[in-house]
Amino acid sequence: MNHLPEVWGRPRNDVYGAYDHSYLQGSHPMQHTQQPIVTGTSVIALKFNGGVVIAADNLASYGSLARFTDVERLKQVGTHTVVGAGGDISDMQHLYEKLLDSLIIKEEYQNDGHSLRASHIYRYLSRVLYHRRCKFDPLWNTILVAGWDDGKPFLASADLLGTTFSSPALATGFGAHLAVPLLRRVCPDENAVKSLTKEKAIETIEECMKVLFYRDARSLNKYSMAVITGEGVEQVPLSGEGKEKVHVEWKKDITLENQSWKFAEGIRGYGAQTV
């Protein structure tokens, strides 16, 4: 006999055969994702006149260990959209490689000239995230969907709870604290989008990535950026339907430049020390 009361007096397998485990199902909780393990930090994005720019660094952390330094967290989905994900990397890979890839393949089976626009991708992703939170089995991510939709730039956010919102300047994680105030300086509302140039938007995003590298301990000085630009709606003859021209420009493995560290040479001690 052992010390575990629950096994006392059970019929012996060698006499009565093995216990039917199916009776035990549901007697203890299913194991779901309870915390993120390998994580990505902020994704930041900004609308400008004629498009959206989105960026995320290439780091996947394992706690405080900077474990993988060559991870692409932005993904082009179809022709109109770039999705960026922060949070758990395995859940991100599930979203990208299982759900979004097969979504695009299914759409292309139709071969009807129609392609999924940014709002369609966003709606799909936000419903998946909300559905999973309702099953108590969340995908531990915060995502930004950037793209071109119906003649306008598109930018919106969704998280592991299924919370959705949209704004001309968005950032996830640490970026919500550090980058959003900087982005809102150049783009406080939808009106400001109309007067914001692509060059100024890219410059602002680069500046934010630098601030995030200074202040976010789980960030990296190597990042990717995608610039989605659309050219309004081009009229297709006969059908009268509009066809959008969307261009996605990728910049990968960007290294942060012009960092300011020179001032550190003059710092001595924590108070009275002078040498």
Partner 1 sequence: MSLSSVEPLSFDPAYSFEASQSRDHSGAPRQHSFNPYTDNGGTILGITGDDFVVLAGDTRHTAGYNINSRTERKVYRLGDNNLILATVGFGADSKDVAETMTRAVNDFKFNHNLKNMTVNAAAQYLFTVLYGNRFFPKYTHCILAGLDKDGKGRLYSYDSVGSYSKEGERRAAAGAASSLIVPFLDNQVEFKNQYLPASNGTQERPVEDLPKETVIKLVKDAFTSATERHIEVGDGLQIITVTKDGVFEEMTELKKD
User: Minimum distance from CB of 165 to partner 1 (Å)?
Assistant: 4
Whichever of 34 and 258 has its CB closer to partner 1, that residue is 34
Whichever of 177 and 245 has its CB closer to partner 1, that residue is 177
Please select the residue that binds partner 1; options are 50, 78, 116, 130, rule is CB under 8 A: 130
User: Minimum distance from CB of 72 to partner 1 (Å)?
Assistant: 26
User: Minimum distance from CB of 130 to partner 1 (Å)?
Assistant: 5
Region 8-37 residues binding partner 1, contact defined as CB under 8 A: 10, 13, 18-19, 21, 24, 28-29, 32-35
Question: Which range of residues in 75-83, 131-139, 200-208, 209-217 is near partner 1 by CB under 8 A?
Answer: 131-139
Active-site residue, 33 included: yes
Residue 236 contacts partner 1 per CB under 8 A = no
Whichever of 32 and 268 has its CB closer to partner 1, that residue is 32
Residue 138 contacts partner 1 per CB under 8 A = yes
Contacts of 159 (CB under 8 A, 6+ apart): 129, 141, 142, 143, 172
Region 148-187 residues binding partner 1, contact defined as CB under 8 A: 157, 161-167, 176-177, 180
Active centre residues (catalytic): 33
Positions in the binding site for partner 1 (CB under 8 A): 1-4, 6-7, 10, 13, 18-19, 21, 24, 28-29, 32-35, 130, 133-134, 136, 138, 157, 161-167, 176-177, 180, 189-190
